[in-house]
Structure formats: structure tokens, C-alpha cells
Chains A and B, each alone.
Chain A
Amino acid sequence: MLQLRDVTVKVEGEVILKNINLVIPRGETHILLGPNGSGKTTLLKAIMGMGGAEVEGEILLDGQNIADLSVDERARLGMGIALQKSPAVPEISLQEILQITGEKHGTDEMEEKIESLNCGYLLERGLNENFSGGEMKRSELLQLLVQDPKVVLVDEPESGVDLDNIVIIGEALKRLLKSPREIEKKRAALVITHTGHIMDYLNADRGYVLVRGSITCAGNPRDLFEEVNQNGFEGCLECQITE
């Protein structure tokens, strides 16, 4: 289970997120909506310990506060992230990082995972080097499949991706979120979406709307998405339908 208790995040001294509270039980997928600049990516990176953010409050993974741990310590405890924009790492090939990650996390069925995300032809290339939007997302999800985390953080899996790739990515994400690491140990997931397309593939349990650094609404993700479509994110500031 992932739980955030009164989490405030500052980046270079500026408060970006204020008093965030949320709970994502194992086996549940939660969706995070919000306008550009509302702090969605900062929140995901802060949960993972990335981006040099200063975090106050508690980030609990299965009851353990991980807020002071380094990125790799969080990864080894079972946190995983797929970034919206990943840096190019020409010094290592996709194949090499999959091998090393697989060894670290004891992953099997590598070939089948690679095939499911149509990444075979990318293996020899430098990681993320000149990858298209779709290739980048598939590569990120493939790495997560190999990493096999307890908690999955995914930042806008459908952004910059054509329709064919959305199908592949959506199916892979569904498989990742619904395939338990072990029986009785299901994953928890927090997925940022801007367009809502990815919700066609995910049976999301709960949604949040983040506006100006605060969660303004929480509830059924489809209801929230419809609300946003009708009244915009500013409407969420007024409605405050949070249960």
C-alpha cells in the first residue's frame, strides 16, 4: 500500500504541492488529473525521490516511511516509475539495462515481455536515444515489467503517442497492473493522464484532481473526468466534491 500523509513538496524553495493526502491500497489503480503546471509530475517524482524536491510529511510504502530514502533504495523496496520524458542514455543499450535490471529483480520471461511491447528492434540501440514518443513509452513500460515493482507510478503514458501505440501501451499497462507480483501481493498504481484515453484500458478505482498544488476533488475517476470535461479544472476548485 502507498500512502501519502500531509505531503508538501518544495522545489528550489518554492512550494509546488501542499498537504497531499492519499491512500492507494494494493490491487488498486488511481488516476491523477490536473491542468498543466498543477504539480502532477512533481508529485510522482517526489514519491520516487527524484527531481531534487524537498519533501515534508510522510510517504509510506506498506507502512514504512520512505521519504528520506534515496531513489535506488525506494526502487529496491518495490517502487517503480515510468517517466513522461526520459533522458537519452546512449552509453547503455536497452538490452543491457533490461539484463541488469532483470538480474537485480530476478525477472524471467524476458523475451515474451520484449515481444509484447514490440521492443525487439530497439534492443541494440542506446537507451531512449532518438526513440519516438511511442518507442519511449513502450521502453519505459518494458523496463517496469522487468523491474516488477510493488507500486507503479506512470506519468502520462498516452502523451505523444499515436493510436496504434496507445493500444500496445494500454494493453501492457493493463497487464502490468493486473498481474500480481505474487499471489496476495498485488500492485498499487498511480497514473497521470491528460487525455483520459488510457482509462479505456485500466479499470481505475479512484481518481484525484490536482489543481495549483492541491488535491481539490477525489472520487470515481470517470465521474471526475466527465466533470472536468464539462466544467474544466477551475470548476473543480469550486465544486470540492471530495468525499
Chain B
Amino acid sequence: MSNHGIEEKKSKLQNKARQALDKKAAYGSDLDLSSEVSTVEEAPLESLKNLDRRIREASLLAGMNTAEKERSGSYFQKGDSAIYARVQDAYEGKVEIMCIEDALQEYPWLWDYWWSMVPVDMDKYTAAVELWGKGGYFMRILPGARLDQPIQSCLLLDEAGASQRVHNIILAEEGSEAQIITGCTVSPEVKQGSHLGVSEFFIKKGAHLTFTMVHNWAEDFDVRARTGVKVEEDATFVNNYLLLKPVRSIQAYPRCVLEGDRSRSRFNTIVYGQENSELDLGSVIELNGQGTRGESISRALSTDGSRVMMRGRLKARSNDVQAHLECRGMLLSKESEMNAVPELWVEGAPQADLSHEAAVGPVSEEVVEYLMSRGFNKDEAVSVVVQGFMQAGIQGLPEALENLLRQTLSSMSEEAV
């Protein structure tokens, strides 16, 4: 894109954003953005090992390996400051990782992707990211590159009451293959704040990307995430999402467009609603190309006074497509609420094959009693049911995350009894 084109696009985007600043989101409670506070500027880091211990521990719980072992590259953002972006030597020429502002400077063509999968005027949150956003990552897996170790990133907030507003672009070039683990979290002292995140993914022909996101927030934290994914011919996008800690509110409804023929997508979601968390989560898969396949599997637990809304939408616009949506929820307290809203849309594609299963219920007393008749005590029986229920939601997690998931499920099972 020419300099003139870029300036013109910037101006148009900013105008649209300003007009959308009061536009409420279609889903989720409304947030007041007027009191949002930016964070102080932080200096870049030479090594992730130089992070404070408490920050290292917080990021570890969000899936970040600060020793960078078994990782192909890393990105770390603290508040508004991108403090670390590095590709391991063995992966130079295979992957690029940088702060989004640097990437837009370096690659004028990136402006063609910028806000192309998420409308800048979708709502006040996208508008806020455009107008006041700082940072976010650009990750590009180069054509044909196959990364045998995951890329990792961490977006962390270390100042109470502050806001983080980021815009990420992930580009998996033709024939590439990679896994990204990204954690969004706060340092232990931070209980209050907000995170507004826009992520746009482009999965080119024949590429394969597995994206795992862990959200570890705090009791008075609000999160609004806006995600768009475009998948080309014969390409695959797998999204794993884990939310295991309390948060005040979070709303996200990522949209994945299977544009290319034979493209595929799978969304796996594990959500644990605790305390007074208000969670409104789901995914949209649009099956436009011939022979596309989609699957969306979610597992949600709700306890305390949490409210969980699980959405899912499959939208077929082409024949010879197949997709399945599965929302299952388990309530562990009388005070919690859960809603499952699966939607199947078919537009002009009479041969499309879409299906869904949705179930919300308690831990079955009959099952618990049955397991007890084999010698399990009640705690063990509930634990088996809860852990098995949640683990069915996600396959192939990295070891550290699997351990984290197991530990969290184990402690939540105890609470369930």
C-alpha cells in the first residue's frame, strides 16, 4: 500500500472509530471506557529471565515459558509496552515476531490486512483499540515453514486500574505449520482493570495453525476480545481457549470464515465460571468454501454466583459442508446461571450438514452413586466426573498447560462436592 493509501486508510478508520465510540456491543454487559487509564512506559528487556519473579510466575500460569525452552519465539507485552520480541536462532527465516506498530512500519502491505477481519466500528471496544490502542503482536510464519516448537506470547497488566488495548495480527503463510500459545494475565497484586483485544488471523493455502489462549484475570477485571479469522483453501485453524480464574466480565465471540475450499476449523473451549464472573463466550464458524468442515466443542462449569452464556453459531453458505457444535455445561451451585445458545444457519445451501448438541445440568447423583459403589468416595467420584467433563473439551495441550488444567480441575472438583 502506498504512503498516501495508508494515510487515507488511517484517516477513514479513525473517523469510523470515533463514530462508534458510544456503540454498545451486541452481547455482554456495557463497560464505561471513560475512566480507562493507560500504563507507564516500560523499557525493553534483554531476556525474559530479567522479569520480576512475581511476573514470571504469573506468566507461567498463563502458559509462558520464560526460560524459552522448547519455544521457537516469544513476545511479551507489559501494559502498553512491548518489552520483548525474539525469534530463537534455529527458527530465523521461518517466523517473524514483532510489535504491531513496528510491523506496520516495516510492511506497508500489512495495512491491507489491518481491520479486514474485524470491523473497526463493530462496537465501542474496537473503536477504543483503534483510537487509543498500543501494542499487540505481529506473528508471521513464513511460507512452507514448519515450526516444531510453539511460539509463545504473554500480554500482562501490572498496574491496578489500568487498561490494555491491543491489536494482534497473525499470518500463517502458504503451507506453513505452527502452534501459538498466548497467555493474557495480570500480576498477583492487580485485581482491577480492563483488557480490550483485537486479533485478526489469516491462514493461507494449505497452512495449519493451532492457537491456544489462556486467560487468567482477576476479580474486578473486564475483558472484551474481538477476533476474526480467515482460512484459505486446504488450510486448518484450531483454536483452544481456557478460562480457569475468576474475572468480573468477559465477552468474546470470535468469527472464523472458512473461505477456501476444503478448509477446516475447530474451536475447543474450556470455561470455569467462579465467584461473580459474568462470562459470555462462544464462536462463529462460517462455512463458505466447498467441502469445508467445522467443529466447535465447549465445556463450561459454573459455581458460586457466576453467570455463563455459551454461544455457538454455524453458518453454511455452500453445499457439501459439514459442521458440528457441542455446548455442554455443568452447574455446581444453586446461585450460578448458565445458558447455552447454539445456532445453525443455512443460507442457500440445501445440502449443508450442520448439527448441534447442547446440554446443561448438574453433576448426576446417579453417576456419583454408581462410582461410589466401586469404592470411590464422594469427592473422588465428583472429581472424576468434573475432570473428565472438562478435559473432553481440549485435546493436545502443551504439557505445562495440561498440568495447569489438571491442577485447577482438581481443586475445582473439591469445591464441587
| A50 B373 Cβ-Cβ under 8 A | yes
- In the assembly, what is the distance between CA of A122 and CA of B381, in Å? 21
Query: Does any Cβ of A come within 8 Å of B372's Cβ?
Result: yes
Q: Which of A74-107 contact B (CB under 8 A)?
A: 75-76, 80-81, 83, 86-87, 89-92, 97, 100-101, 104-105
| A87 B389 Cβ-Cβ under 8 A | no
Closest to B385 in A: A91
Which of B370, B374, B388 is close to A87, meaning CB atoms less than 8 Å apart?
A: B370
| A87 B366 Cβ-Cβ under 8 A | yes
Distance in Å from the Cβ of B359 to the closest Cβ of chain A?
A: 11
Query: Does any Cβ of A come within 8 Å of B392's Cβ?
Result: yes
Q: 1/0 per position for A186-226, CB-CB distance to B under 8 A?
A: 00000000000000000000000000000000000000000
Q: A91 and B369 in contact (CB under 8 A), knowing A72-B378, A75-B375?
A: no
Residues of B within 8 A of A147 (CB): 374-375
- In the assembly, what is the distance between CA of A9 and CA of B376, in Å? 25
- In the assembly, what is the distance between CA of A48 and CA of B374, in Å? 11
Contact count band on B: 20 to 34
Residues of A within 8 A of B387 (CB): 91
Interface centre among A71, A80, A86, A105 (most CB of B within 10 A): A71
Query: Does any Cβ of A come within 8 Å of B384's Cβ?
Result: yes
Query: Does any Cβ of B come within 8 Å of A70's Cβ?
Result: yes
Closest to B376 in A: A72
Count of A residues near B, CB < 8 Å? 24
Closest to B375 in A: A75
| B388 A92 Cβ-Cβ under 8 A | yes
| A76 B375 Cβ-Cβ under 8 A | yes
Distance in Å from the Cβ of A54 to the closest Cβ of chain B?
A: 15
Residues of B within 8 A of A72 (CB): 372-373, 375-378, 381
Q: A143 and B374 in contact (CB under 8 A), knowing A92-B384, A92-B388?
A: yes
| B372 A91 Cβ-Cβ under 8 A | no
Interface centre among B381, B384, B386 (most CB of A within 10 A): B384
Chain B interface, DSSP helix/strand/loop, else mixed: helix
Which of B369, B370, B377, B388 is close to A90, meaning CB atoms less than 8 Å apart?
A: B388
Q: A81 and B375 in contact (CB under 8 A), knowing A89-B367, A90-B392, A91-B388?
A: no
Residues of A within 8 A of B375 (CB): 72, 75-76, 101, 104-105, 147
Distance in Å from the Cβ of A102 to the closest Cβ of chain B?
A: 10
| A87 B367 Cβ-Cβ under 8 A | yes
- In the assembly, what is the distance between CA of A147 and CA of B376, in Å? 11
| B371 A89 Cβ-Cβ under 8 A | yes
- In the assembly, what is the distance between CA of A89 and CA of B392, in Å? 12
Query: Does any Cβ of A come within 8 Å of B19's Cβ?
Result: no
Closest to A75 in B: B375
Residues of B within 8 A of A97 (CB): 371, 374
Q: 1/0 per position for A119-155, CB-CB distance to B under 8 A?
A: 0000000000000000000000001000100000000
Query: Does any Cβ of A come within 8 Å of B364's Cβ?
Result: yes
Which of A51, A70, A91, A101 is close to B374, meaning CB atoms less than 8 Å apart?
A: A101
- In the assembly, what is the distance between CA of A80 and CA of B372, in Å? 10
Closest to B370 in A: A87
Residues of A within 8 A of B372 (CB): 70-72, 75
Distance in Å from the Cβ of B367 to the closest Cβ of chain A?
A: 5
| A91 B373 Cβ-Cβ under 8 A | no
Closest to B384 in A: A92
- In the assembly, what is the distance between CA of A97 and CA of B381, in Å? 11
| A71 B389 Cβ-Cβ under 8 A | no
Residues of B within 8 A of A70 (CB): 372, 378
| B370 A91 Cβ-Cβ under 8 A | no
Distance in Å from the Cβ of A126 to the closest Cβ of chain B?
A: 8
Residues of A within 8 A of B386 (CB): 91
Distance in Å from the Cβ of A156 to the closest Cβ of chain B?
A: 16
Closest to A79 in B: B373
Closest to B387 in A: A91
A-B contacts, 12 listed (Cβ < 8 Å) = A70-B378, A72-B375, A75-B374, A87-B370, A89-B370, A89-B388, A91-B385, A91-B386, A92-B371, A97-B371, A101-B374, A147-B375
